[in-house]
Structure 1
Amino acid sequence: MKKLLMTSLVCSSVLFAANSEYKYEVTPMISGAITEGNLDLDRNYANAGISLGFNLDDSMFDQIELGILRTLDDVDYKNSNQDTAVTRVFTNVIKEYSLNAKSSLYALAGLGVEVYDNEQFGNETGPFANYGFGYKYKLDNDMAIKADVRHLVSFDNGNNNLLYTVGLAIPFGKKAAPAPIMKEEPKPVVIEEPKKVEEPKVLDSDNDGVIDSLDQCPDTMRGANVDKNGCIVMLDLEVHFPIDSSIIDEKYKHRIKEFAEFLNKHPKLKATIEGHTDYTGTEKYNLWLSKRRANSAFEALKKYDVDPARLKTIGYGETRPKATNKTKEGRAQNRRIEATVSK
C-alpha cells in the first residue's frame, strides 16, 4: 500500500499538465498526524496520500474533495511490541475565500472512514467527521501549493486526531469552449433596416435643418439661413463680383431668377439686398461700390416681376467680410451680395 501511494504521488505530477480552465484538480500530499494522548499510539506520525477535487459551478461551494491518506510507516502502540498502519478515506466540501489574484483561504468539512490494520487498545475501524482551514497559493503555471489543518473526531468513541497537510494541486480536464453559434446572427439584424420607411416624420425635404413636421416654410431656397420654424432669414445669393465691378455675370442669373420666383411665390415676404466688398480700395469707395452691387441685384429682380416696393438695398462696404481678406480666394468670397428676408 505504501508503494502504491508513493507511485501515485510521482505519476500524478507527470501525467497532469497545468490548465487555466479545468474541471478537476488532483493533489498529491504529505501529512503529519498528532493523536490524542489516550489512544496508546505514537503521538506523531507521517502520512502520504492523494485527493481528487471536482470543481463546481453555480454552487455555494467551490469544490468537492475525495481523498485517501495512509501512514508512511507502521505506527507503534505504546507499551507494546505491536504496531499498525492507518488508512483514512474522506470526502469534503471546500469553500474558497480569495485574498488576491494568487492567494486564497479555504474552509473544508466532511466525513470519512479510518481503517486500522491492527485494531488494538480501542483503536477500531470506523467513521469520523472532520473540518479544517487552509491556505492556497497559485503558481504561474496554474498549479497551486495547498496547506491546511484538519480536526478529525471519531463517531464511535469521540477520539480526536489532528492532521496537517501540504500538497501540490494540479488542474486537469479542460472545460469545453462555447460553440460559436453567434456568427450567423448579424444577418437577421440587417433585415430590421426596412423600418427606416417609418421615418417620414423626420424628413427634411428642403434640407434647411428643420424637419418637415415642424417646417412652416417647406420650400426654403438652398443655402438659406432659417429660423426655428424653417422660414428664411438670410440668404447668400452666391453672386460674386470681379474687383471694382458691380455687373452681375451671366453665370449667376439663374440664382437671381430662383430668388425672384421664391419671392413671387410668397408675396407677403420682403427682402433687403445687401452689397459687400473686399478691402481693396478706400473705405468710402468700397461703401459706394457695395451699394451699386446691391442696386444691380435690385434691378435684376425687378426684371423677374418682383414688386420694387418689397425690396430694399443697403451697402456695407468692407465692414462685414465673410472670409479673410489676406488671400485672393477670401477676397473673392467677400465681393458678394446677400439678402435678408422678413414679413
Structure 2
Amino acid sequence: MKKVAIALCAASLLFGASKYDYELTPLIGYGTPHKQGIKDEGFFGARIARNLDLPWLSQIELGAEFAPSVKYKDNGYDFGKKDKTNIFRGYLDLVKIWQINDTFGIYGLVGAGYQHFSHKSNDKVEKGGFAQAGLGLRFNLTERVALKLEARELIGFRHGKGKELYTLGLGFGLGERYEALPAPAAVIGDEDGDGVLDNVDRCPGTPKGHVVDEWGCEKVIRLDLGVLFAFDSTEITTAYAEKIKEVSDLLIANPDYTVILEGHTDSVGSDKYNQGLSERRAAAVAKVLMKNGVAANRISTVGYGKTQPIADNATKEGRAKNRRVDARFRK
C-alpha cells in the first residue's frame, strides 16, 4: 500500500493565532418572553468555557444568568405584592467557532438547561428544563479579550413556550497560552524505495534493487532470442550475437548493474524437460556475456520452462517466439 503521510491541523482559532485553556465571559442581556405572562427582562450572568481542538467543536461551556424583579403582565390575576419574580437560569452549551480573520469570527451554539422562578403567578410561567440555540459574533480586542454579541432562542420543555435572549459579553482567555500550529505540507513518500515517489509510482511494491523507469515500473530488456533457438536446442546463432553484445556493453558501461537471464520454451514436451531446457538456454546466453567481458558474479540465470509464453503455442510462429531468453537488470 502506498504510504502518503499527510498531517493536518484542523482547529478553530479562538484568539487570532493563539489559544488558551479556558475562556471566562461576564455578560449582560435582555430577554423578550413569548406567551409567558411576564414582561421583558434584563439580566446579567457569566460563562466559563473549555477550549477544545476538535474539528466540529470549539468549546464546551457552563453558563448562569440572573434576572431580578421581572414584572408579570396584567392578565387578570391578583398578585398583591408579589407581582414580580426573580429568574435564574443555568445551562450547558456546545460551541463551534469559525474564525474569519485574526480579528473577526462567528459562532453557533446549542445547549440545554434549567430555569427557576422565585414566584410563580400562573401556569403560563415556564419553569423547568429548556433547550436553546443561538448565533454570535466575536471581535478580538486583544490576544486575551474578545467582545461577544449574541442572540439565542430558548424553548421550554414543558409547554414549548420560549423567549429571545440578546447578550453582550467580554471573553477573557485564562490558563496557558499556546500557538495554533499551521497545517504542514503533505509529505509524499517512496514506500518501495525505487526512487519514484508514491504519487507517481504506477508499480508499487517493486523489489529493492530492481531498475525502474520514470513510472516506477521495472525495466526489462528482452533479448527475444526465440528465433535463435531451434526446436530442442540451446545453440545461439552468430546472426543474433549482436543483441547479446549490446547487453554486454550496457553492463560494462554500468558496473553497478547486474543481470538475471530468464530462459523460456514452447509448449512441446513435458514440464520437467522444458524446465531443464529453459535453464540451459539461459546458461548459454550467460556464457556469451562472460566471453564478452562481463564478470560471472554479475550474471544469474533462471528457467521458467513453458509457463510464461508471449505468443500462441498453437502456431509454428508462436512457438518460435516463445523459445527465448529475457534479461532483467538490477542495480
Q: TM-score range with shorter-chain normalisation?
A: 0.3 to 0.5
Q: TM-score if structure 2 supplies the norm length? A: 0.46
- Identify, as 1 or 2, the structure richer in helix: 1
Bigger Rg, which one: 1
Q: TM-score if structure 1 supplies the norm length? A: 0.44
- Identify, as 1 or 2, the structure richer in strand: 2
Q: Which has the higher contact order (CA 8 A, sep 6+)?
A: 2
